[in-house]
Amino acid sequence: MQFMFKKRDNIKDVEEGKYLSPKFDENGLIPVVTTDFRTGELLMHGYMNDKALKKTIETKEAYYWSRSRKNIWHKGQVSGFIQKVKEIRIDDDQDSVWLSVDIGSGSSCHVGYRSCFYRSIPLGKIKDEEKLEIEFKETEKTFDPKKIYKDELNPTKL
Amino acid sequence: MQFMFKKRDNIKDVEEGKYLSPKFDENGLIPVVTTDFRTGELLMHGYMNDKALKKTIETKEAYYWSRSRKNIWHKGQVSGFIQKVKEIRIDDDQDSVWLSVDIGSGSSCHVGYRSCFYRSIPLGKIKDEEKLEIEFKETEKTFDPKKIYKDELNPTKL
């Protein structure tokens, strides 16, 4: 897979060069931020390995590495909510990826909400011994995960 | 610091409960996605430890953990490009954070661009032995990093 990537041999080329030189972490993964190309809404945060990145570039559909299932994961394969990739960007030091995707009126979140980021953390002084309450910003689920996923493993790990 | 957080003792509470139960990784970090609250533009991808998260919540300015400098980092302390936090969200399994921030007409990227994600990866079939060329989507720097950072360490690592 390394033939696709320029070796990370100097910082100037990584930051301002014209070749892709992604940095995969000690587990071979790179974090991925996925937004809705129409609204800019943040949909999810995930990971790719080199094979998932290659498949995403070539097929224009989002593939991730599932850390809970330990396999390459074609997003939407079970739910039908395929992410059509409109653009992929890489950041300054090439250690994270941004996918801008089209999911139409579909969803991104396995819990049933459109975005995985459906809860907000209140700002301001935290009192001693206070557990922080979070506020739901999406209140209606867009689908019923029990019907869609049936016996699939829940990817959330404690 | 743990008093602020509910223990992650069941998946239902993590996904649909009303208390913050963030998951920090084996290095004590949680990934953070930062977008511009006006445009939705993705500005950067970083990390926080528990102290940086607490300081961000309390001060309403973004603090991160710098993996290259190994310290808490008040974003904008050197450059002046402070990130005023408008909203913080947490995702379904509470292992990543979304900051929506106001940077006015400032910048996010130490290389000098507004967003760290200033280069795009072309989509489509990859030829054998082909290095992937990336395309600059921001062509003008918004500031001169040499003037702003002087002798500061470049955070990019190979």
Q: What is the pLDDT of residues B120-141, one digit of tens each?
A: 999 999 987 788 999 999 989 9
Once rounded to an integer, what is the mean pLDDT over residues B78-106? 96
Q: Which residue has the tokens 């402070």?
A: B82
pLDDT above 90 (res A129): no
pLDDT value, residue B12: 94
pLDDT of residue A87: 98
Looking at residue A139, what is its pLDDT?
87
Name the residue with tokens 């990370």. Answer: A8
Q: Integer distance in angstroms from the first to the last C-alpha of chain B? A: 33
CA distance A50 to A65: 9
At A146, the pLDDT band (50, 70, 90 cuts) reads: confident
Q: For residue A69, give the nearest of A42, A95, A49, A90 by alpha carbon.
A: A49
Question: Looking at this protein, which amino acid is placed at residue A22?
Answer: P
The residues near B70 (Cβ < 8 Å, ≥ 6 apart) are none
**B31 interfacial to chain A (CB closer than 8 Å):** yes
pLDDT at B45: 97
Query: Is B87 in Cβ contact with A20 (below 8 Å)?
Result: no
Q: Is A60 left (phi over 0), alpha (psi -120 to 50) or beta?
A: left
B118 or B154, which is more confident: B118
CA of A6 vs chain B CAs: smallest distance (Å): 6
Predicted confidence at residue A26, as pLDDT, reads 93
Distance in angstroms (rounded) separating the CA atoms of residues A145 and A127: 36
pLDDT of residue B151: 80
Chain B closest CA to A15's CA: distance in Å?
7
Confidence of residue A148 (pLDDT cuts 50, 70, 90): confident
Rounded mean pLDDT of chain B?
A: 93
The whole-angstrom distance between B105's CA and the closest CA on chain A is: 19
For A:73-102, CB contacts with B below 8 A are 85, 87-93, 96-98
B144 touches chain A (CB under 8 A): no
CB atoms A20 and B126 under 8 Å: no
Question: Is the per-residue pLDDT at B1 higher than 90?
Answer: no
Asked if the Cβ–Cβ distance from A11 to B154 is below 8 Å, we say yes
Average pLDDT over residues A20-43: 96
The pLDDT tens digits of the residues spanning B97-121 come to 999 999 999 999 998 899 999 999 9
pLDDT at B149: 86
Report the pLDDT averaged over residues A52-74: 96
Cβ partners under 8 Å of residue A122, min gap 6:
A132, A133, A134, A135, B57
Residue A3 predicted with pLDDT over 80: no
Residue B148's region, left for phi above 0, alpha for psi from -120 to 50, else beta, is alpha
Mean pLDDT, residues B40-66 taken together:
97
Q: Quickly state the pLDDT bin for B46 (edges 50, 70, 90).
A: very high
Partner B contacted by A146 (CB < 8 A): no
Q: How far is CA B87 from CA A37, A135, B1, B33, B84, in A?
A: 21, 11, 21, 12, 9
CB A56 within 8 A of CB A63: yes
The residue of A91, A101, A128, A140 whose CB has the most chain B CBs within 10 angstroms, and thus the best one to mutate to test that interface, is: A91
pLDDT at site B47: 98
Taking alpha carbons only, the member of A54, A34, A51 closest to residue A42 is A34
Q: Determine, for residues B92 and A109 on separate chains, whether the beta-carbon distance falls below 8 Å.
A: yes
Q: Check residue B127 and give its pLDDT.
A: 86
Residue B58: its pLDDT value, please? 96
Backbone angles phi, psi at A57, to 5 degrees: -60, -45
At B65, give phi and psi (nearest 5°): -100, 120
Confidence check: pLDDT of B44 > 90 = yes
| Whether residue B3 has pLDDT greater than 80 | no
**Nearest residue to B100 via CA among B35, B32, B30, B33:** B35
* A69-73, A102-106, A129-133: least confidently modelled range: A129-133
Q: What does the mean pLDDT of chain A come to?
A: 93
Q: For position B101, what pLDDT does the model report?
A: 98
CB pairs under 8 A between A and B: 188
**Residue A154's pLDDT is what?**
86
